[in-house]
């Protein structure tokens, strides 16, 4: 029971960052997600997590969101900036 309540609170908080899902919808999704996660095996959880990660990358790429990259400069660029 406490797991469902915690899942509902987490879902409601996550829904605040989404325009498509309201607080109540997020709470319902969070409460339903807890029993589903308990029944999944470890490999299935890894596949679901990897799928979510890949879906987010594809969404960000399609909508032009900047990817979090560190700036790496080549030795030639560093030498040119020092000169």
| pLDDT value of position 69 | 55
pTM to 2 decimals? Answer: 0.43
Tokens of 24: 């109540």
71 domain residue, yes or no = no
pLDDT digits (tens, 9 = 90+) for 46-77: 888 899 899 988 888 888 766 555 555 566 66
Domain extent at residue 7: 2-62
32 domain residue, yes or no = yes
| pLDDT value of position 29 | 73
pLDDT digits (tens, 9 = 90+) for 21-34: 777 777 777 777 77
- The DSSP annotation for 8-76 comes to HHHHHHHHTT-SSS-HHHHHHHHHHHHHHHHHS-HHHHHHHHHHHHHHHHHHHHHTTPPP-------HH
27 domain residue, yes or no = yes
């Amino acid at each position: 029971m406490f797991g469902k309540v915690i899942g509902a609170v987490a879902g409601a908080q996550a829904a605040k960052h989404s325009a498509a899902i309201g607080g109540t919808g997020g709470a319902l999704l969070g409460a339903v997600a807890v029993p589903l996660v308990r029944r999944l095996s470890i490999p299935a959880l890894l596949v679901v997590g990897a799928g979510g990660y890949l879906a987010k990358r594809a969404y960000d790429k399609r909508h032009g969101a900047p990817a979090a990259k560190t700036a790496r400069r080549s030795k030639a660029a560093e030498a040119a900036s020092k000169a």
